[in-house]
Structures are given as structure tokens and as C-alpha cells.
């Protein structure tokens, strides 16, 4: 616990030397105890510069996830308070389902450096190479009826989009229902899986995949046109923990807003971030292809599409393609 707090303190005072004396005062322990904790952090992959009489400065963080580094960035009350890290799993979704069945609480997150059988929406595979992305599943237990689950999907997309914008400065937008695009190419996807009985939700596993630090060569050739990464778009490596921490903070805030004020504020935020509204789209649905222009979301989160003849159609699921100018 003390190690986590010490790390958080260094993170909050980046680029500064902090003396052993100041740290021992701050944490109410001896300088030897501080030195021991710094060595624990060193063993976990953190590097410190130490100068006699000036103190310690954090100069490097491990490139792999560690619970310490995540906890230093996660400032939420519920979401992410329990973190399960894995080097490699088939899918973080599977691990999260299993953990819930064993009693995992709301807010538990499962993160893996790599997935061997990552899955996406509509039965697709999700490419999840080692150490390059954020492959994460979050346990939620919302008290909403099953038909309103799509609202939660949109809420997560809003939180993620705002967070990506804030952390990277990129103009990310949301393609209905919950793909995140930068310049027309996908950087992130969200997959919701739930367990319910008689329209009552037991739990939801929200799977979030963010192509953070993939280089062009890390994508299989068939994905290169349609997908991109935060690294490719910004030209710099993304600190994954910072993005996770920011996203969980945003999500918790919107989750609270949704519980207190319902879907309307989330719908307005979603519409403001959408790249699929008021432009020509083609939607592949289970019942065929629909072409038109999306005009709004309805109160349940469904997409209202205006067809060429002026009639309106409400879509509850499907795959949107932006047909012009970058179809
Ligand atoms: C999509 O856009 O199709 C959704 C992709 C969701 C991918 C994430 S990665 C973490 C979690 N584990 C999985 O197997 N899938 C989700």
C-alpha cells in the first residue's frame, strides 16, 4: 500500500528531485523505509536517479503494466479498484466472466498484455499483439433493464472518446454504435457481453480494445487500411496507464450522471462526438442493407436513419459504413 502511495507521489511530482527527508515526513516513516520501498519499485521496473542531498527523481517506468503503476493513475472510487493483470490470456472477456461467476465485484478490471483469441463485435476476431495495446474487460452491474443496455454501450464510447481526445489531442470521433475512429480509421472498439434473466441484468462485461502503440507492421495486411493506432496518429508512444486512468475517471463520472439524470445528457454528448450523423451512410443489418443519412439517436440509443424517400427507420444493431467522402 505504501509502495503505491509513494509511486503516486513521484508521479504527481514528475521531473523533481524529492529528498529522503521530505518523503519520510510525508509518509511518516524512516528514510531507510523509504529507500526500501524505492528498491521495491526498482524491482518492478521503475528507475530512479538518486543524488546525495537532493534526493530521488523518477526517470523511467516499466513498459509492461504493473498494478503499482496502474493504481498510481486510477483515481476512481469503484471502477478499477480491483485490477487483475495477465501476461497472456485467450480473451480478457472470458477471464472476466469467470471472475464474476466466482464473485468479483463491480469495477473489477482484467487487463492482458496479449490475447490469443481476442474477440470483436459480430463474431469477428480482435487483433491483440503483446504489449502494444489496451486489452481490457470491465465488470459492471448496472441496475437497468436489459433493453436499455445499448445506452450503456454509447455511454462507454463517449467516455472513451473524450478520454482519447484529452490524453492524445487527437480528434477521435464515434461511429455508431461504439467504434472510435481517427481520420476514418478505427483505433478502438467496445464489446458488451451480458448475463440476464427475464430482462433483468445480472452483470455486464465491457470489453475495450484500444490500439495504442501498434506500428504499421504490427497490423495484419488486411487491417492496414481500416485500422490505425494512437502511436501512428500522434507519432509518439502512449502511456497506457495514463489513458486507462483517465478513461476510468471519465466513465465513472458519466455512469453517475446517467444514474442521476438518465440517458439524455449522454445522448447529447454522443451526438456531439459522432462521425456518423448527418452524412451518407450504409448500414449492414441482420435484415439487409440500409442506405440513408443518420439524423439522431432515439431515447433508447437506437440510430434513426432518414432514407432517400424521406422515411425514417430506427436501427437497433448493425455495422455502419461512412459512404462519402471516405467510404
Ligand atoms: C469491436 O470493435 O469489434 C469490439 C472489440 C473489443 C475488443 C476487446 S479487447 C479486450 C476485450 N477482450 C476481447 O476478447 N475483446 C474485448
pLDDT tens profile 180-217: 999 999 999 999 999 998 888 999 999 999 999 999 98
Nearest ligand 1 atom to the CA of 93 is 12
Task: Evaluate the CA torsion angle 298, 300, 302, 307 in order and state its sign.
Answer: negative
Q: What is the Cα–Cα distance from 132 to 84, expressed in whole angstroms?
A: 18
Residue-level pLDDT at 64:
77
- CB-CB contact of 39 with 29 (8 Å): no
Give yes or no for residue 136 CB within 6 A of ligand 1: yes
Residue-level pLDDT at 287:
85
Calculate mean pLDDT across residues 153-178: 96
Give yes or no for residue 228 CB within 6 A of ligand 1: no
Q: What is the Cα–Cα distance from 287 to 267, expressed in whole angstroms?
A: 26
Give yes or no for residue 93 CB within 6 A of ligand 1: yes
Q: How far is the CA of 197 from the centre of ligand 1 (A)?
A: 24
Q: How far is the CA of 5 from the centre of ligand 1 (A)?
A: 32
Residue-level pLDDT at 326:
46
With a pLDDT cut of 70, the percent of the chain lying above it is 97
- CB-CB contact of 28 with 20 (8 Å): no
Residue-level pLDDT at 45:
65
Q: How far is the CA of 184 from the centre of ligand 1 (A)?
A: 19
Please report the beta strands in the chain, taking only residues with DSSP state E, as ranges in sequence order.
Answer: 47-51, 55-60, 82-89, 108-115, 134-140, 173-175, 179-182, 185-197, 200-210, 280-285, 288-297, 303-306, 312-315, 319-322
Q: How many CB atoms lie within 10 A of CB 261?
A: 10
Give yes or no for residue 219 CB within 6 A of ligand 1: no
pLDDT band at 128 (very low <50, low <70, confident <90, very high): very high
Calculate mean pLDDT across residues 153-181: 96
Q: How far is the CA of 298 from the centre of ligand 1 (A)?
A: 25
Residue-level pLDDT at 273:
96
Among 85, 96, 117, 126, name the best residue to mutate to test ligand 1's pocket (greatest count of ligand atoms within 8 A of Cβ): 126
Q: What is the Cα–Cα distance from 158 to 270, expressed in whole angstroms?
A: 6
Task: At 153, give phi and psi (nearest 5°).
Answer: -60, -45
Q: What is the mean pLDDT of the chain?
A: 92
Calculate mean pLDDT across residues 120-146: 93
Please name which of 140, 170, 177 lies closest in space to residue 274, comparing C-alpha atoms: 177
Amino acid at each position: 500500500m505504501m509502495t503505491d502511495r509513494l509511486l503516486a507521489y513521484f508521479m504527481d511530482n514528475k521531473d523533481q528531485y524529492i529528498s529522503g527527508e521530505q518523503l519520510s515526513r510525508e509518509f511518516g516513516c524512516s528514510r531507510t523505509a523509504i529507500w526500501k520501498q524505492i528498491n521495491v519499485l526498482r524491482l518492478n521496473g521503475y528507475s530512479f536517479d538518486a543524488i546525495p542531498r537532493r534526493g530521488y527523481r523518477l526517470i523511467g517506468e516499466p513498459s509492461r503494466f504493473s498494478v503499482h503503476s496502474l493504481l498510481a493513475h486510477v483515481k476512481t472510487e469503484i471502477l478499477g479498484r480491483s485490477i487483475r493483470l495477465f501476461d497472456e490470456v485467450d480473451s480478457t472477456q472470458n477471464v472476466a466472466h469467470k471472475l464474476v461467476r466466482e464473485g468479483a465485484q463491480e469495477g473489477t478490471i482484467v487487463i492482458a498484455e496479449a490475447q490469443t483469441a481476442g474477440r470483436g463485435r459480430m463474431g469477428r476476431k480482435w487483433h491483440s499483439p503483446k504489449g502494444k495495446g489496451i486489452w481490457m474487460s470491465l465488470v459492471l452491474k448496472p441496475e437497468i433493464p436489459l433493453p436499455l443496455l445499448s445506452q450503456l454501450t454509447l455511454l462507454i464510447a463517449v467516455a472513451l472518446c473524450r478520454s482519447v481526445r484529452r490524453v492524445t489531442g487527437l480528434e477521435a470521433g464515434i461511429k455508431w454504435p461504439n467504434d472510435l475512429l481517427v481520420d476514418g480509421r478505427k483505433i478502438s472498439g467496445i464489446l458488451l457481453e451480458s448475463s440476464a434473466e427475464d430482462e433483468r441484468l445480472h452483470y455486464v462485461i465491457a470489453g475495450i480494445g484500444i490500439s495504442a502503440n501498434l506500428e504499421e507492421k504490427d497490423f495484419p495486411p488486411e487491417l492496414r487500411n481500416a485500422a490505425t493506432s494512437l502511436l501512428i496518429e500522434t507519432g509518439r508512444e502512449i502511456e497506457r496507464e495514463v489513458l486507462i486512468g483517465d478513461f476510468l475517471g471519465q466513465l465513472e463520472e458519466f455512469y453517475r450522471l446517467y444514474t442521476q439524470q438518465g440517458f439524455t445528457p449522454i445522448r447529447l454528448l454522443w451526438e456531439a462526438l459522432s462521425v456518423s450523423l448527418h452524412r451518407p451512410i450504409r448500414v449492414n443489418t441482420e435484415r439487409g442493407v440500409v442506405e440513408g443519412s443518420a439524423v439522431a439517436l432515439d431515447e433508447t440509443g437506437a440510430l434513426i436513419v432518414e432514407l432517400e424517400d424521406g422515411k425514417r427507420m430506427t436501427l437497433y444493431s448493425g455495422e455502419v459504413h461512412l459512404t462519402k467522402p471516405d467510404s
